[in-house]
Amino acid sequence: MHSFSDTPAGFRSGFVSFVGRPNTGKSTLTNALVGQKIAITADQPETTRHPIRGLIHRPDAQVVVVDTPGLHRPRTLLGERLNEIVKDTYADVDVIGLTIPADEKIGPGDRWILDNVREVAPKTTIIGIVTKVDKVSRDEVAAQLVALYDLLGGDEANAEVIPVSATAGEQVDVLADVLVKHLPEGPKYYPDDHLTDDDIETRIAELIREAALSGLRDELPHSVAVEIDEMFDDPEGRDRLNIYAILYLERPGQQRIIEGPEGRRLQSIVQRSRKQIIELLDRNVYLDLRIKVLKNWQSDPKQLGRLGF
């Protein structure tokens, strides 16, 4: 990767990753720090399927946020592959933020994650982040900060813990300052107008997937994948981009859930994601979304490869 030479003296740059149990607010935090919606946020665990890098540009630093799938005990072949990607990512970053929500007790799952991260990235700085602090009282936030400080090893590890609320925008700047402090001095990796290095097709597929998952909670936890089949400028000369996408599910019953009564749910998925895609591309879009059932794709190596895992 080339660097951009106009970096002032003392400029810091590097890579940061957030780790934590599913749904601890990692993607929301990334979006708040970057100041633009790049990582998808949904109610399901494991919605983030591959590293999305968001960039924080400051006069004194450039922070590259690597958003990884949550580290979890694998149940399927997909789960094992995701864990491999995660481990590679953690070994490469400068700072890891362990996210713990303010409204849930620290448990064995958090300890398991911390042990795993320390194993794959023994030299990497780990800071503690208590998320969702807008949901509980100040006393509860304080108690959680102390518990997280102890989990990280307290004074022996010179542990740093920071409370944030990404949705309310509280303490996000403070967190950015702490992240920067732990980065090495170095060049800019990306130009100033760059926000994410994800290719546009992937971002569009993720927006569609997010719209499909929203409001479903547990009915289709991880059986949804989206593939962009074709994207091209409108052949009739209209100023719009035509996007043809396929939503893959594992069972016919899931198709009925996604379509909803008289296909209304599917229509609203198309409307919602189209609106987001228009916002992302700043141009008019025609979106054609079809559903295909691929039996048990998550455990089939051939299908996994086809869908990019």
Between 58 and 195, residue with greater pLDDT? 58
Q: Topology of domain 12-182, per CATH?
A: Rossmann fold (3.40.50)
- Joined together, the tokens standing for residue 272 give 């919602």
Model confidence pLDDT, tens digit, residues 122-175: 888 999 999 999 999 999 999 999 999 999 998 777 889 999 998 788 899 999
Where residue 177 falls among pLDDT bands split at 50, 70, 90? very high
Binding residue numbers: 20-27, 67-71, 131-134
Q: Identify the bridge partners of residue 17 per DSSP, sorted by sequence position.
A: 66, 96
Rounded to an integer, the average pLDDT of 80-89 is 75
The one-letter amino acid code at 225 reads A
pLDDT, position 199:
78
CA distance 211 to 301: 26
Residues 6 or more apart whose CB falls under 8 angstroms from that of 265 comprise 257, 258, 259
Closest CA to 176 of 246, 216, 127: 127
Where residue 4 falls among pLDDT bands split at 50, 70, 90? low
The backbone torsions φ and ψ at residue 272, rounded to the nearest 5 degrees and listed phi first, read -65, -45
Between 43 and 297, residue with greater pLDDT? 297
- Joined together, the tokens standing for residue 171 give 């303490």
Rounded to an integer, the average pLDDT of 249-253 is 88
Residue 138's CB is within 10 A of a number of other CB atoms, namely 9
Binding residue numbers for GTP: 20-27, 67-71, 131-134
Model confidence pLDDT, tens digit, residues 27-63: 888 888 888 776 666 666 666 555 667 889 889 999 9
Beta-sheet strand order (sheet of 284-293): 225-233, 240-249, 284-293
Which residue ranges make up each domain of the chain? 12-182, 200-307
Residue 110's CB is within 10 A of a number of other CB atoms, namely 21
Provide the sign of the torsion angle of the four alpha carbons 257, 49, 115, 166, taken in this order: negative
Class of domain 200-307: alpha beta
